[in-house]
Amino acid sequence: MKKTNVMQSPIQRILFSALLAFGLGASPHWPLSADDQVPSNPATKDSSTAAGTNRAAETSKPKTDEALNNDAIIELVKLGLGEGLLVDKIKASPCNFDVSIGGLKSLKAAAVPDSVVSAMISASTKKDGGADAKAGDPNDPKSPHESGIYYYYEEVGGKPKLTKLEPAVYTQQKGGVAIFIQYGQTAQQKAVLHPAHAMLQSTSRKPVFYFYFENTASGLGETRNIATSPNEFVLAQMEFKDKDNLRTLVVGQVNAYTGAQWGPKDQSIRAFDFEKLAPGIYRVTTKQDLANGEYCLFYGGNAIFGTHTTTSGGKVYDFGVKGPPETEPAAAGHSQGNLKKKGAASK
């Protein structure tokens, strides 16, 4: 009898091909003939390989668009990265920092160096391809501000308001006759401002100011004559004369016996406190209530280096106080016995 191959039956070959197509049949003992084998699809195979390669590439590709935030900086500081490396990383990366007062306090508590915090603030104000970020609320002390001194107060309803003090330029006049200095007379150097009253008048006896410094380097290595802290400023009360429409402040005096003294008299100086909120940002408040009158803030380095003696004058940040009469402090408590009060007769 002729031996028959079990796979030669057309029906069997069709069934086996169907099983193979559904992944149920690939048995080495039942090989298909060349005519019955199911051809593979090269395009499908190539696309599957390419897809797998792309997925692997995407997985291994570094994430360059990951934005730095406060938590990331604090973590890097704890790892011991140097200040220079952190600043370079901030400059080279997209950033999403919280530089509000609360955010800055958290960074300070985590011992983040001031230079790194300064770089974070700079990065926050230079988003969108290096352009300056849109200004925030100009009346919010936490928002970025142009360097300068700002007067802070609250309007009706508790809404905050910040007003920048524009510097006023003063001229100078000398008092006394120089020829009689050798006989004990004192020649005074006075700064003179016009008009008799500053444009900004505070109704608060203890006005609040915010200082924003452009230069934040205040270490021992910083020797240039540039202010970096409110501690380098002096707050003084000025005399004013409505009749002559001017304000004056003694900024120096010369006497044959006592020598030369630069800066305002002790009787006119008013003390203040300040709190550092962030690199270059300070909150300043007077220690005592201020009497009604005219005042100015000026850089104390001018007195140290004798700038007050030049004929070109200098700059001060002036303001006045107009508080209710019933809250007027005692003159003796503020050493104001020799200062003219608003409305007093002037000779």
Angle, alpha carbons 10-15-18 (nearest 5°): 125
Confidence band, pLDDT 50/70/90 cuts, at residue 181:
low
- Report strand pairing: 201-202 vs 314-321: parallel
Among candidates 314, 226, 216, 230, which has minimal Cα distance to 264?
314
Residue pLDDT, tens place only, 200-248: 999 999 999 999 988 766 555 554 567 888 999 999 999 999 999 999 9
Q: What are the pLDDT digits (tens) for 54-81?
A: 554 444 444 555 789 999 999 999 999 8
Instruction: Note the pLDDT of residue 164.
Output: 93
Angstrom distances, CA of residue 8 to CA of 24, 203, 293 = 20, 110, 118
Give ∠ CA 111-113-117 in degrees, rounded to 5.
Answer: 110
CA–CA distance, 23 with 3 (Å, rounded to integer): 30
Q: Tell me the per-residue pLDDT of 131-151, one tens digit each, with 9 for 90 and over.
A: 444 456 788 887 778 889 999
Q: Do 87 and 119 form a contact (C-beta atoms < 8 A)?
A: yes
Question: What is the arithmetic mean of pLDDT over 86-108?
Answer: 89
**Does residue 106 register a pLDDT over 70?**
yes
Tokens of 139: 């009346």
3-state secondary structure the chain: CCCCCHHHCHHHHHHHHHHHHCCCCCCCCCCCCCCCCCCCCHHHHHHHHHHHHHHHHHHHCCCCCCCECHHHHHHHHHCCCCHHHHHHHHHHCCECCCCCHHHHHHHHHCCCCHHHHHHHHHHHCCCCCCCCCCCCCCCCCCCCCCCEEEEEEECCCCCEEEEECCCEEEEEEEECCHHHHHHCCCEEEEEEECCCCCCCEECCCCCEEEEECCCCCCCCCCCCCCCCCHHHEEEEEEEEECCCCEEEEEEEEEECCCEEEECCCHHHEECEEEEEEECCEEEEEECCCCCCEEEEEEECHHHHCCHHHCCCCEEEEEEEECCCHHHCCCHHHHCCCCCCCCCCCCC
Report residue 335's pLDDT band, with 50, 70 and 90 as the boundaries. very low
Q: Which residue has the higher pLDDT, 344 or 313?
A: 313
Share of the chain above pLDDT 70, in %: 60
Q: How far apart are CA 47 and CA 39, in angstroms?
A: 17
Residue 179 predicted with pLDDT over 60: no
- Are 254 and 186 in contact, with CB atoms under 8 Å apart? yes
Candidates 236, 241, 240; CA nearest to 251 is 236
Given this model, what pLDDT does residue 305 score?
A: 39
Q: What is the C-alpha separation between 108 and 273, in angstroms, rounded? A: 20
The pLDDT, as a whole number, for residue 153 is 87
CA nearest to 265, candidates 339, 326, 342, 321: 339
For residue 151, give Cα distances in angstroms to 27, 64, 154, 225, 276: 90, 42, 10, 25, 16
Q: Token digits for 204?
A: 């608060």
Q: For residue 308, which of 163, 161, 115, 170 has the smallest C-alpha distance?
A: 170
- Per-residue confidence band for 279, with pLDDT thresholds at 50, 70 and 90: confident
In this structure, are residues 262 and 187 in contact, taking their beta carbons and an 8 Å threshold?
no
CB 334 within 8 A of CB 268: no
8-22, 125-139, 284-298, 317-331 — most confident range: 284-298
Q: What is the pLDDT of residue 206?
A: 94
pTM: 0.55
Is residue 153 within 8 Å of residue 168, measured between CB atoms?
no
